Structures are given as C-alpha cells and as structure tokens.
Amino acid sequence: MDIGVPSIRNLFRIKAERALLWIAIGITSIPLHLLYNSAVYTTLAANDFFVAVVGSDHFEPRAHSNTPKAYLFRSETRNATTGKEYGDPGYQTDSRDMQLFISMLEGYNGSTPGYEDLTAPQCIRLYSTDILQDRRNLFLITNHTSNATYDNTFLDTWWYIHAGGALTATWTCLYLQGSLRCNTNKLASRVASGIPWLVQIGTGEMVKIKGCKSEKVAGKCKVQFSLGIMIAVICCNLVKACCMVMAVLRSREPTLVTLGDAIDSYLRIPDPTTMGICFADRRFIKREWRHGSRAGPRQWKRKGIQRWWTSVSKTRWITCIFFCSIAIIITGVLLGKGIGQDGEFLSTDLKSLWTRGFGKVNSVSVVTVRFQNITQAILLANLPQTILSFLYLTYNSLFTCMLAGHEWSLFSHHHRALRVTSPRPGQRSTYWLQIPYTYAISLMALSALLHWLTSQSIFLARVDIWEPLGREVRGMMSTVGYSCIAIIFALPLGILALLTAVGMGLRPFAAEITTVGSCSAAISAACHAWGVDSERIVGKRVR
C-alpha cells in the first residue's frame, strides 16, 4: 500500500464503507469544479443595428428624400401601442430613440443629439465587431447627391443581426474581390491611406463611402446569479459534509495516514513477511519481493546520499511532468490564437491588454464556438478548473512523496520522535496540512492563485441582443470570454511551478538510507527491532 499520499490502489485494500465514502467525496468534487465559477456571471448587451446608405446631401435642407420606400423599417418601427407602422396616417412614435432615429432617417436634423460624425476608417473599426455594445444604427454617407440619376437621397438599407451568437461584419470588405477573410484593421488602414471604401447597394452598384453618422448609446450590462448552479453546489457540499461526519464517527480503528503512523504500527506489531530484508527499498519491493522472491539478508552496498526525486515513483513523475507540459503547451497555443484574434480589432501591446483587465467581457475577446445552450458554455468555461485540480493533485503528490522521503532520511541522520496522527507520550502530532507548513501554505497559495487566474482567463459571458431601436431584447446568447492578460500571468506561473518541482527533486537527502518512498512493505522491512522490546521503543526517539 501507499502510506501518506493519495492512492487509487489503496481503495482495493480498505473496507468497502470507507472506499465508498472516498468515492462519494471524489465524485461530488467534479460538479463543483465544472459549475461553481459560473454561479455569478456578467450579462452584456449586444445591439442589432440598421445601416442606411444615404447621399451626401441627405442631411441638407430641402433634400429630396423618400424614406417611406424603406420597407425594411416599416415592420421594425411599428408603434407598440396603436399598432400603426411607420408612414401610416396617424402614426406616432412611442420612444425618444425612435423619434431621433426617424428624424435622422428623413434628414430633418443632421446634428441630432446622440449621433456622432465618424470618418470612414473609424466607422469600419467600430462596426466590425462580434458584439456591438455602445453603438447602434449607422448612416453611411456616399459621395452621391440627389439628381436625375439619384432622385432620392436614401439609397439602400440593411439590418444587421446577431445570428447564432456572431455578427457578420464582412459587408465592410465587399470591395476586396475574392477575399475569404475580412481583416478590418487592414481595411481601415487602407482607407485611411486613401484607398476608397466601396460598398455594394441593392442595385448592384458599388458606391464610395466618405463618412458616416453613428448612433452612440450607453452600454447595458448586469450581474446575474444562477440559482440552479448554487443549489447543485450546496447539495454537493452537503454530501461531502455528511461523508466527513460518517468517517469521523464510524472509523474508530487506528489509521495509517503518515510515515510516523506506519513506523509506530510496525514497531508495535512486527510484520513477519518482511523479516530479514531490512535493506529493501521501494525498487526492490517492486522488482523482486512482490513477485515472490524471498531473498534473505544481503551485504549493504554503499550508494551515497540520494536525491529527493528518488522517493517518487517514475509513474508519478511522468504523469505530472507530461500532463503539466501538455497543459502549458496548449495554454501557450491558445494564448497565441487569442492575441491573434484580438489583434484584428484591438491593439495587443501589453499596456492595452492590461487596460482591458482580468476577467472582463468585451466585444472582441470571445470564443467563436457557437453554443446551443448555456450549459455547454458553462462546461467549457469551467473545464480548465477541473483540469487544473487534477494537475494540482499530481503536483501535490510529488511534494508529499519527496517530503516523506526527506523525513525518512532524517531518521538516519539523528534520533527523532515519531510524528503520528494520534500521539502518545514521547511522540509528536502530525502536521495539520499533512506536510510542513512552509510547503503546505505555499502549495495552497499556488493553487488558489492559479485557480483565480484561470477563472479570469476564461469565463462565462451572457449577451442580451437588443433590437435596433433599443425597445426590447430580441434574444440571448451564451458565450465564453477570455482575457489574454490573465493568461499571460497564469502561463509563467505554471511553468515556474513545474520547474520548482524539478528543482526540489535535485535536493539531497539528509543522510544515506534506503529510499522507501510511500511503500508500506519497504517501511515495514526497516522496522524490525532485534533483541529489544518494541513497546519500549515507540515512545522514544528512534533512528
């Protein structure tokens, strides 16, 4: 069995009741990691918007505008009270936003409050985003005027909506023939350098856009609380608490939790199966003893002082290093993709990334995967938490094994009192956190910091989709946001943690001694007292 470290193998050698309690505690941990961080989440607002293509004189007095022909707007501007549509006799607006929009639509007042003049490059950058938060309806101003060819300053209209959680912004790149990907940063730069911005209208003609008027609105957001998730979390914690109470009340037999517990037990009740192989180390037990080889005493071969890593099995080392390395590599790749995606719309210098903050949802830094429901988004947002918890268990077990090996080597260096779970006279109590507090507190702080950084790196984001006049929510979508600056902080910390574990493994033990690790048989082999009453030993310092 393994002493002092978490071990699946031990489950097959303990009472069924205790194994079931362990399994219950383990299973109820999974929902906590997959759900808990999404109990409280942010909801943003994304605005659908109208695009109206108008002539250069649309906002001038006495311009020839025939806006009732814009049938696209009729169904969207229906009065919620009277049911009349825009253009019907007796039509009355039912909101200030609608009044402002119609005044702009008919060109009554080009300086209507709430509408801002933008250059063509500014217009491209602001409206080429997946989630439009603080902008709404847009008037594209062409270089055409109302004349015999264009008897109307109103040339065309579009309605851009968030379909399935993403906004198609490729309309800004229509002049790039054969372009499969719309890079709005490059387009804005080209337009700023003098290359015309061409947009295709309903007649099939390409018109040049020289500027625009944009409706600027206040962004909407709210913090929401998921009652269902919290109920699930409370139920899981309740099961855990009940399991802990049962373990305390029903488990009366002596425990083998620490290295001192095992030494105390083997000194009081010697194990005859390991008699005569006091030189046995962990490798010998695995290589020969477990396969039936009952070798007797052998000559001691001096090996010198071993290093900490020898007290950990190769399986534990390979498992920890492999999975931690895979997680670090994947994180680095995703960080590169995230910076690349942000770079299409935002500046990616360190100062700009810092300004966007930790765990803050914005209109660009969102995962482009489409989710059918909020459950899928929650599971994806919290999957890294579950993976991190698994990695921390393997990482913690490395330190637990190495520190157990260090404690074992101290018994070869000088006489020491046993550190046990239930101390008797002459013995010491075990550490409250299983390992020395210097390491335990450091590992807990590392785990807490990594979990927090992970929660700020990828997180749930809900979006309410408002119709173009801001009167009602047309729909909702669930997505996952990410923060590149949080990932930048988390990635080096993970690399440093892995290098620290490797560096700790290179430390030498206090003295030369057999390397037993957590192997119960190897511990037992060294705990046979020859010619001495073992009961007299356990209450004293031993070596």
For residue range 322-355, what is the model confidence (pLDDT) as tens digits? 999 999 999 999 999 888 877 766 666 777 777 7
- What lies within 8 Å, CB to CB, of 31 at 6+ separation is 232, 233, 236
Average pLDDT value for residue range 56-65: 70
The answer to whether residue 95 scores a pLDDT higher than 90 is no
Residue 67 scores a pLDDT above 90:
no
The residue among 493, 506, 504 whose CA lies nearest residue 327 is: 493
Beta bridge partner(s), residue 223: 42
pLDDT given at position 165: 45
Confidence of residue 254 (pLDDT cuts 50, 70, 90): confident
Distance of alpha carbon 33 from alpha carbon 454, whole angstroms: 12
User: Are 400 and 312 within 8 A, CB to CB?
Assistant: no
What is d(CA 351, CA 459) in angstroms, rounded to the nearest whole number? 22
Q: Residue 143 to residues 44, 172, 357, 455: CA-CA distances in angstroms?
A: 36, 17, 41, 49
CB 82 within 8 Å of CB 90: yes
pTM over 0.95: no
pLDDT of residue 371: 79
Task: State whether residue 473 is helix, strand or coil.
Answer: strand
Token output for 20: 């079931």
Number of domains in the chain: 2
CB 385 within 8 A of CB 35: no
Burial class of residue 148 in the structure, from the number of CB atoms within 10 Å of its CB (0-12 exposed, 13-18 middle, 19+ buried)? exposed
Cα–Cα distance for residue pair 198/208, rounded to 1 Å:
5
Same domain assignment for residues 212 and 334: no
User: In the prediction, which pLDDT does 473 show?
Assistant: 82
Q: How confident is the model at residue 71 (pLDDT cuts 50, 70, 90)?
A: very low
In angstroms, rounded to a whole number, what is the distance separating the alpha carbons of residues 299 and 91? 106
Q: Is the pLDDT of residue 503 over 80?
A: yes
Average pLDDT in the 249-275 region?
85
> Quick check: is 241 in a domain?
no
Residues 6+ positions from 44 with CB-CB distance below 8 Å: 131, 133, 219, 220, 221, 361, 363, 461, 462, 463, 464
pLDDT at 179 over 60: no
**How far apart (Å, rounded) are the C-alpha atoms in residues 161 and 19?**
54
Domain boundary among 222, 239, 268: 222
Whether the pLDDT of residue 48 is over 80: the answer is: yes
Is 183 among the domain residues? Answer: yes
Q: Are residue 388 and residue 499 in the same domain, yes or no?
A: yes
In a domain, 25, yes or no: no
Same-domain pairing of 508 and 363 = yes
The torsion angles phi and psi of 343, rounded to 5 degrees, stand at -65, -20
Q: Is residue 506 part of a domain?
A: yes
What distances in angstroms separate CA 501 from CA 224, 313, 388, 403, 509, one per listed residue? 40, 14, 16, 12, 15
| Of 148-162, 199-213, 362-376, 377-391, highest mean pLDDT | 377-391
Specify the range with the lowest mean pLDDT, choosing from 62-66, 142-146, 253-257, 494-498.
62-66
Q: Do residues 218 and 352 both lie within one domain? A: no
3-state helix, strand, coil in the chain (%, to 5): 45, 15, 40
Residue 390 lies in a domain: yes
Same domain, 50 and 192: yes
**200 and 93, same structural domain?**
yes
Instruction: Choose from 139-153, 240-254, 289-303 the range with maximum mean pLDDT.
Output: 240-254
Q: Is residue 285 part of a domain?
A: no
What is the number of alpha carbons within 13 Å of residue 231 lying toward its C-beta?
A: 3
Q: How far out from the chain centre does Cα 395 lie?
A: 19
Burial of 482 (0-12, 13-18, 19+ CB in 10 A): buried
* Percentage with pLDDT > 90 across the chain: 17
* Within a domain: 288: no
Cα 462 to chain centroid distance, Å, stands at: 16
Q: Rounded to an integer, what distance in angstroms lies between the CA atom of residue 520 and that of residue 539?
A: 21
Task: Tell me, yes or no, whether 215 and 329 share the same domain.
Answer: no
Identify the domain containing residue 336 by its residue range.
306-512
Q: Do 69 and 198 belong to one domain?
A: yes
3-state class (DSSP) for residue 235 = helix
| The domain boundary residue, chosen from 176, 192, 222 | 222
Q: How many CB atoms lie within 10 A of CB 535?
A: 10
Which of 203, 222, 241 terminates a domain? The answer is 222
- Tell whether 195 and 103 lie within a shared domain: yes
Among 4-8, 21-25, 335-339, which is the least confidently predicted range?
4-8
- 179 and 84 within one domain: yes
State residue 180's pLDDT score.
41
Is the pLDDT at 89 greater than 70, yes or no?
no
In the chain, % of residues over pLDDT 70: 82
The residue ranges of DSSP E strands in 339-452, in sequence order, are 419-420, 428-429
Average of per-residue pLDDT values in the chain: 81
pLDDT value, residue 480: 85
> What pLDDT does residue 342 have?
77
193-229 pLDDT, tens digit each? 888 888 878 777 888 888 899 988 888 888 888 888 8
**Which pLDDT belongs to residue 82?**
65
The reply to whether 525 falls in a domain is no
Strands (E), 282-342: none
